Structure 1
Amino acid sequence: MSTATHRAARIAAARKAQSGDAGARRYCAQPMQTPRQFDSNVSAGRASAILASSKKWVNGTQLTYYCFKRGDAVPAAWQGSNEDAGVVEESFEAWAKLGIGIAFRRVEAAEDAIVRIGFDAQDGSWSYVGRDVLGIRDPLQRTMNFGWPLTTPYGQDTALHEIGHTLGLEHEHQNPHAGITWNRQAVIDYFQGPPNFWEESQIEWNILRKIPQAEVKGTTWDPDSVMEYQFEPGLIDAPAQYQAGLVPKGGLSYADKAWVVETYPGVRAPAMSTLKVGLSQLLKLKAGETRNFEFIPARTRTYSIGTFGTSDTVLVLFEVTPAGNVQIAGNDDSGTDLNARISMRLQKSRHYLVGVRLFYADAALETSLMVW
């Protein structure tokens, strides 16, 4: 069997695996976002470094999530089945078992969740990317949706894919390193037709647009990434081997796993230090890296925790609880001339965790952290 014939056969088999759709498949449609703009005093290199990490979570984060269900005060279409919610839980566990430095916990109330998940079949599948989730504050609004059953192989990959977005991953076929040349009109015709019915702006945002190099997960294209779409024959003009279609192998690829472990190091994270009042700690971070510090107050009072140095960071304060780390404050100073600072009343003998991700530093290894 020729390569082209083999790929066509894989596409046909994959189509059959998608429940309830005998023709063209449905795809993840990312919510369109306004690209971040920087002041003129922010250099291109600094802006690029900020964009490379600004959607990534700080190590130590616990992402709580909730699946809307029958009886919730949301549209009935958002309410999912126990079976689909079970696949969502399994998919979070698949990412977590890689030993990464962030955790996931399913909660029983939408107001306790950072990630809120609907199952509206008329709204497609989508998720906000990384820390963009934090901009959706209403507990009765979704940050993720599934538009088809998750109990098929394609549905299971969809769950992994949308969680990948929540972790900070973009669509892999929009990687500028992919070198994809699209048959633009064929792509537009395909996605404007059933069952997607996308507007041309959605097609541009989700397929044809190239993601800035600073925001991609690596220096090469990974056609087997769970973040890669499957494409029918005739949509890709180049590379030539994908003219007959592109079908990822399914599941998390080696590169997916490598990216999440590097971005959120678990056992490979730097040793945790303890903050002491009035003593600064040199962060010793390169751009994109994170570090965590413990802090146990000797008495109850208002404390300030802040960075020092010409740098761009995000600073997060967690309280360590039996149910996991609970974020209680945060500050992002990126793109400004300020330093990150949190002032908050903390309780004697309670266990707190301070997390920092460095986006950019004017001079390497010169940013410090202190509590006072």
Structure 2
Amino acid sequence: MKYVLIISVFVGISSAKAHGVDGINLGPPSNDPKSLVKTMKADKDPALPRIAEGVTNGFKLWSAGSVVSVCFFDSSSDVRRQFADIANTWLKNANLKFDFGAAPDFRSCDDGSQYNIRVSFNNTGNWSYVGTDAVRVDRSAPSLNVQSGNNSGQHVTSANQFKTVVLHEVGHALAMEHEHQSPAAKCDQEFNWPVIYRTFAQRYSWDKEKVDTNLRSLAKSPRIRTTEYDPNSIMHYHFDAWMFHRGVASKCYTAENTMLSALDLATITAIYPADRGGQTSLYREREKRVRSVIDELGLSSEQKAAIVERINEVAQTAAPGYAAVLVTGGDINQSRGCNSAIAGAQATGGSSISSQSNCN
């Protein structure tokens, strides 16, 4: 789930970089038994389960017009205020709201209630579950963590770094996908894999299989976003120059982005439109791209069915009754929506989402 292709971590010896690659912190643990990472067979490609789960991330939207509740674990009121101010820049033109509780202290996560997004500032890296995955896991545990730019939630130590990381992770919490290199760039061929294998073995004691599973999946992941390629997106990964054969001259090297791009803001407005029905239309457009991608991956019919089932499950929050259609070799496989669905958030300010059966 989230942590699949949503890892926001770093490489770099002297300073941490938001949405780069870090050999240690790869995101939150998966405690969802339905995660495709846990259930899908890797076959000959160890990156496949992560790629498959990443395909579903674009369907994990909150319902347009709803209020998403947010709480904080141990942290100062000043750090909470800065987080809230930064997070709200995403929603200037979107039909969605965050509820952080009353200023100046904002809401703590330890009041016995269940909230949608649960923010911590622990020493576990920078990560977030994608969109509504946050309510499919343990509601008493963090769903988003910011390690960089602050001192365990007590003080902001680097305003620019803190802002960059918060923007990126909140983007994931809003179901924004990673912006990858253009598919035509074939970036997997640009990476110096022998150097990467050797460096991660020395620096983090990773073997080749672990590098392939966690890093190569990033380079090989298909681009699901239906907008034009945006190298300036806050959601774009930054890979250090040493990871490429040609360093900064590589066509796949991009500088680190530190603010929302114009297309980031346009995208968040599109996925949270004034008309809730617009989310269903968006899903249909993304479904076309997913259909093409999973055909290119050469998956078995069982693997494709698992992806479709997962998409239909997570899509219910924003589009109740949505059922993706997968056309393969003349056969049409369609889920009729008889899945465990997440519903009812918008009527309660987003703080009490319950599981429902959605069988027709």
Give the TM-score, by structure 2 length: 0.58
Q: Pick from 81, 87, 108: which aligns with 2:82?
A: 87
Q: Pick from 71, 95, 98: which aligns with 1:104?
A: 98
After superposition, the Cα gap between the structure-2 partners of 1:170 and 1:256, relative to the gap in structure 1 and judged at 3 Å, is same
Identify the residue that residue 149 of structure 1 maps to in structure 2. Answer: 149
Name which of structure 1's ranges 182-191 and 163-172 shifts more when overlaid on structure 2.
Answer: 182-191
**Greater helix share, structure number:** 2
Matched, 1:23 2:14: yes
After superposition, the Cα gap between the structure-2 partners of 1:23 and 1:66, relative to the gap in structure 1 and judged at 3 Å, is same
SS of 2:255's equivalent in the other structure is coil
After superposition, the Cα gap between the structure-2 partners of 1:188 and 1:118, relative to the gap in structure 1 and judged at 3 Å, is farther
CA contact (8 A) 2:115 2:351 kept: no
Name which of structure 1's ranges 51-60 and 111-120 shifts more when overlaid on structure 2.
Answer: 51-60
Give the TM-score, by structure 1 length: 0.57
Identify the residue that residue 7 of structure 2 maps to in structure 1. Answer: none
SS of 2:263's equivalent in the other structure is helix
Matched, 1:260 2:268: yes
Identify the residue that residue 131 of structure 2 maps to in structure 1. Answer: 130
**Residues of 2 paired with 1:59 and 1:168: CA distance?**
12
1:207-252 Cα deviation digits (max 9, x unpaired): 4215764x72235432211112333223234797446952134211
Query: 1:83 offset after TM fit, Å?
Result: 3.6
Matched, 1:67 2:72: yes
1:348-368 Cα deviation digits (max 9, x unpaired): xxxxxxxxxxxxxxxxxxxxx
Q: Pick from 113, 116, 130: which aligns with 1:114?
A: 116
Query: 1:120 offset after TM fit, Å?
Result: 1.3
SS of 1:60's equivalent in the other structure is coil
Query: 1:66 offset after TM fit, Å?
Result: 1.2
Identify the residue that residue 191 of structure 2 maps to in structure 1. Answer: 182
Q: Give the counterpart letter for 1:146 in structure 2.
A: V
Q: Give the counterpart letter for 1:90 in structure 2.
A: D
Structure 1 segments of 4+ aligned residues over 6 angstroms from their partners:
308-311
Query: 1:143 offset after TM fit, Å?
Result: 0.7
Aligned residues: 261
Q: Give the counterpart letter for 1:317 in structure 2.
A: G
SS of 2:241's equivalent in the other structure is coil
Q: Give the counterpart letter for 2:137 in structure 1.
A: I
Query: Aligned ranges for residues 150-165 of structure 1 at < 5 Å?
Result: 150=150, 151-165=158-172
**Residues of 2 paired with 1:116 and 1:135: CA distance?**
13
SS of 1:154's equivalent in the other structure is helix
Identity level (%): 21
Q: Which has the larger radius of gyration?
A: 1
After superposition, the Cα gap between the structure-2 partners of 1:230 and 1:331, relative to the gap in structure 1 and judged at 3 Å, is same
CA contact (8 A) 2:68 2:96 kept: yes
**Greater strand share, structure number:** 1
Identify the residue that residue 241 of structure 2 maps to in structure 1. Answer: 233
CA contact (8 A) 2:66 2:347 kept: no
Tell me how large the CA RMSD over aligned residues is: 4.0
SS of 1:64's equivalent in the other structure is strand
Q: Pick from 227, 232, 246: which aligns with 1:224?
A: 232
Query: Aligned ranges for residues 171-320 of structure 1 at < 5 Å?
Result: 171-173=178-180, 176=183, 179-180=186-187, 181-190=190-199, 197=204, 199=206, 203-204=211-212, 207-210=215-218, 213=222, 216-218=224-226, 220-237=228-245, 241-242=249-250, 245-265=253-273, 267=274, 285-286=280-281, 288=283, 316-318=343-345, 320=347
CA contact (8 A) 1:118 1:146 kept: yes
**Residues of 1 paired with 2:139 and 2:100: CA distance?**
18
CA contact (8 A) 1:62 1:105 kept: yes
**Residues of 2 paired with 1:86 and 1:221: CA distance?**
33
**Residues of 2 paired with 1:243 and 1:330: CA distance?**
45
Matched, 1:58 2:63: yes
Identify the residue that residue 363 of structure 1 maps to in structure 2. Answer: none
**Residues of 2 paired with 1:52 and 1:142: CA distance?**
19
**Residues of 1 paired with 2:167 and 2:237: CA distance?**
13
* Unmatched runs of 5 consecutive residues or more in structure 1: 1-20, 39-46, 70-79, 272-283, 291-305, 340-372
Query: 1:135 offset after TM fit, Å?
Result: 1.9
CA contact (8 A) 1:233 1:244 kept: no
Q: Give the counterpart letter for 2:148 in structure 1.
A: W
* Unmatched runs of 5 consecutive residues or more in structure 2: 1-11, 20-25, 41-51, 102-106, 151-157, 286-319, 324-333
